[in-house]
Structure 1
Amino acid sequence: MNEITITAQTIEAAVQEALDALEVERNQTNVEIIEPGKKGFLGIFKGKPAVVKVTKIVDPVEEAVHFITNVSREMGISIHTNVKKTSRNCIIEISSDSAGMLIGKHGQTLNALQLLTQLVANRYSQQFLNVVLNPEGYREKRKEMVEKLALKIANQAIKTNRSVQLEPMPSHERKMIHQVLAKNSLVETHSVGKEPKRSILVQPIGKKH
Structure 2
Amino acid sequence: MEFIDVSAKTIEDAIAKGVAQLAAEGQELVETKVLEQPSNGFLGIGRKPAVVRLFFTSVAKTATQEEVAHVEEQSVAVASQPVATTETEVEDTAVEASVEEKPSKKELSKEDQQEIAEKGKQFLDDMFTQMGLTVVIEKMMTKDKITFQVHGEDLGILIGKHGQTLDAIQYLTNLVAHKDVSGHCHIVVDVENYRSRREETLVNLAKRLASKVKRNRQKVSLEPMNAFERKIIHTALQGDKNVVTNSEGDEPFRHVVIMYKK
Provide the TM-score with structure 2 as the length reference: 0.53
SS in 1 for 2:134: coil
CA distance in 1, matches of 2:130, 2:193: 22
Structure 1 unaligned segments of length 5 or more: list them.
Answer: 1-55
CA distance in 1, matches of 2:113, 2:205: 45
Structure 2 unaligned segments of length 5 or more: list them.
Answer: 1-111
Alignment check: 8 A CA contact 1:88 1:127 kept: no
CA RMSD of aligned residues (A): 2.1
Matched with 2:226 is 170
Matched with 2:176 is 120
Alignment check: 8 A CA contact 2:113 2:185 kept: no
For residues 24-59 of structure 1, give each alpha carbon's deviation from its aligned partner in whole angstroms, at most 9, with x where no partner exists. Answer: xxxxxxxxxxxxxxxxxxxxxxxxxxxxxxxx9981
Matched with 2:244 is 188
Distance 1:143 1:59, change over 3 A: same
- If each structure's helix is expressed as a fraction of its own residues, which one has the higher value? 1
Higher RCO (CA 8 Å, separation ≥ 6 residues): 2
For residues 4-35 of structure 1, give each alpha carbon's deviation from its aligned partner in whole angstroms, at most 9, with x where no partner exists. Answer: xxxxxxxxxxxxxxxxxxxxxxxxxxxxxxxx
Residues 16-165 of structure 1: matches in 2 within 5 Å? 59-165=115-221
| Aligned-residue offset at 1:125 | 4.4
| Aligned-residue offset at 1:106 | 2.4
Distance 1:160 1:124, change over 3 A: farther
Aligned length: 151
CA distance in 2, matches of 1:195, 1:77: 32
| Aligned-residue offset at 1:124 | 4.4
SS in 1 for 2:143: coil
Matched with 2:97 is none
Larger radius of gyration: 1
Alignment check: 8 A CA contact 2:243 2:259 kept: yes
SS in 2 for 1:59: helix
Taking only the aligned residue pairs, the percentage that are identical comes to 32
Distance 1:190 1:197, change over 3 A: same
Matched with 1:28 is none
